[in-house]
Copies of this chain bind each other. A is one copy, B any other.
Amino acid sequence: MQEVLPIMVFQTDFTYKEGAVAAMYGAVRSVSRDVEIVTATHEIPQYDIWSASYRLQQYVQFWPKGTVFVSVVDPGVGTSRKACVALTNDGYYIVTPDNGALTHIKAKHGIKEVREIDESINRLKQTEGTSVFHGRDLFGYCGARLASGIITYEQVGNEYSVDDIVTLDISTPEGSEGYLKGIIEIDDPNFGNCWSNIPVAEMFENGFSYGDDVAITVTKDGKKLYDQITRFGKTFGDVKKGEAILYNNELMNVSLALSQGSFMEQYKVYFGPEYIIEIRKVK
């Protein structure tokens, strides 16, 4: 029987413009030759903890149980914010500053246990004089020790209450027959799409069907950015190139797109709790 290599998956806001990723991965490889190192992305928008949180729940569940995710979006590096490793209810490890980056994972997967990284043990020794690169010195290093089995989860450090995990405000969509209200929760910046927090299942429960033309408004601080009858379609091919569509995205939430265009740019819709989307049946 071949041994299964433990997996580490990294997301940061470091970019590849300099040598930080290479230094972090080197520290990991120096801990263990027997872990797989995978790049999720190093292009999380700078200091954007909300995006770090959302992206984790976009992909964690597609990986094998036991995978160790290291997320480093850390504007408070070196301050009193906790460095932690969370264990989700479904068996994934998340190594991250406890600064809100666990918000979506806590809400969608649930967190079973969380431990504060003990820096006296689980920190790279050769760089102790510096406090600005915990991706390399703490999160990468500790994650590698955990993934490779050098330490157990208990040896990460002391447990603290899951209730004490820092979370950002997360909004819940409202629905009734023929009506849904939610927020644009995140963007798909490459393709210019706007992902809402409204599950497609709630569309069906409230009387909507694929092929319906529905009335959609998107407002920001009360100002209408988008107000049109829009096709609720199954694929981008259901509308002509350049037309808007409400579709079921890869996470099973309804989302707004322009077929082969950028809805975001066209209507100046970005994301966050201030971007309200309302969907109504057309009589």
Contact = CB atoms under 8 A, between A and B. Distances in A.
A41 B58 contact: no
Interface stretch (A172-180, A214-222, A231-239): A231-239
A179 to B, nearest CB: 22
A15 interface: yes
Contact of A250 (B2, B38, B41, B132): B132
Nearest to A241: B75
Interface string A226-266: 00000000111100000000011111100000001000000
Pairs A-B, 5 closest by C-beta atoms: A78-B235, A26-B62, A79-B237, A19-B58, A22-B40
Given A17-B189, A131-B235, A235-B77, A2 B3 contact: yes
Given A59-B23, A62-B30, A64-B29, A47 B260 contact: yes
Interface string A12-52: 01111111111111110110011001111111001100000
A266 to B, nearest CB: 15
Interface of A: 2-5, 7, 9, 11, 13-27, 29-30, 33-34, 37-43, 46-47, 55-56, 58-64, 67, 75-80, 127, 129-133, 136, 186-191, 200, 234-237, 247-252, 260
B17 A136 contact: no
Contact of A18 (B27, B133, B136, B190): B190
A94 to B, nearest CB: 13
Copies of the protein in its oligomer: 3
Nearest to A45: B17
Contacts of A61: 26
A34 B190 contact: no
A236 B59 contact: no
A159 to B, nearest CB: 25
Given A19-B40, A235-B132, A46 B77 contact: no
Given A29-B64, A64-B29, A43 B17 contact: yes
B16 A42 contact: yes
| Residue from A34, A59, A260 whose CB has the most chain B CB atoms within 10 Å | A59
A265 to B, nearest CB: 13
